[in-house]
Structure 1
Amino acid sequence: MDYQINRFVIEIPDSDEKTSTDQLDMDFFLQKDYRKVILGTVRFPDGEPAPCSVVKIFKLKHPHCDAEITSELEPIGHAITDDNGQFLLGPLYPGDKIVLKILYLNGLVYEPSSKSVKSTCEPMDTEYEEEE
């Protein structure tokens, strides 16, 4: 597999004077890349997004194996879904045969909280009183 990394070396001009051009404007040209990514959304059966789900991606060790039953999988990476159930995985190479496994909490109801988190540890100094 050829994994392309575009590397750019930038020499920052040395100057003691503050000028009106403290910003360096640059254009970067990437090489053509044939790799792919997966942008997906995980949803519960009712269609609602599944936040905080873990999406694991595996490559088949032997491409001729049945992807439904084989345990010959090579882990490639993972992603965690955002509040909208979306994730991004990659890079993937043309011709790869992959398997995704999605782990989620059944019946998860996600409601952001503005409440402060209280510690489960007792304070070291006994002068502090516990807030209720």
Structure 2
Amino acid sequence: MSGRLSMCTICPGENEQIDAVIKIGRERRSVIYGTVIDENRDPVADAVVKLLQVCDNGRIIPLTHTFTDKYGQFLLGPLCPNQKYMLKIYKDNITIRYDPIDAECSDGDCIGNKCKRHDSGCK
């Protein structure tokens, strides 16, 4: 890891110079630092960088995400050593269009959940 978070408090007296030597412990964790660029090698600002853990059984677990800065740079961590991770990067260059939509009501299941029949206001 390029740095380790350490903290100490110092309360200097009047007209005092403090000559400090600060010792930090060994860091075993890691970080992923990178830059997202486009096909023209220009930095991609505001891209979503998702961090997922890949388990031995093939299961993929979403852990966290961050956004790239104006230089396309991102930082994720701290990460456990000897673990397998996956990055997914998303950047949409879409235009949002607002249109009214007339939809018909239907009975059915919701995604990932069984819906209970209730009055949704549709007739």
Fold in common (TM above 0.5):
yes
Residues 76 and 30 (structure 1), Cα distance of their counterparts in 2 relative to 1, 3 Å cut: farther
- Length-normalised TM-score, structure 2: 0.60
Unaligned runs of 5+ in 2: 95-123
The answer as to whether partners of 1:6 and 1:31 remain within 8 angstroms in 2 is no
Q: Is 2:28 the partner of 1:41?
A: no
Higher RCO, 1 vs 2 (CA within 8 Å, ≥6 residues apart) = 1
Q: Is 2:88 the partner of 1:101?
A: yes
Residues 11 and 83 (structure 1), Cα distance of their counterparts in 2 relative to 1, 3 Å cut: closer
The answer as to whether partners of 1:58 and 1:75 remain within 8 angstroms in 2 is yes
Residues 20 and 7 (structure 1), Cα distance of their counterparts in 2 relative to 1, 3 Å cut: closer
Instruction: Name the Cα RMSD after superposition.
Output: 2.6
1:79 counterpart SS class: strand
- Length-normalised TM-score, structure 1: 0.56
Unaligned runs of 5+ in 1: 66-71, 108-132
1:91 is aligned, of 61, 78, 89, to 78
User: How do 1:1-132 residues align onto structure 2 when only pairs under 5 Å count?
Assistant: 8=8, 10=9, 12=11, 19-21=14-16, 24-60=18-54, 62-65=55-58, 72-106=59-93
Distance 1:63 1:24 in 2: 51
Percent identity for Structure 1 against Structure 2: 34
Residues 74 and 45 (structure 1), Cα distance of their counterparts in 2 relative to 1, 3 Å cut: same
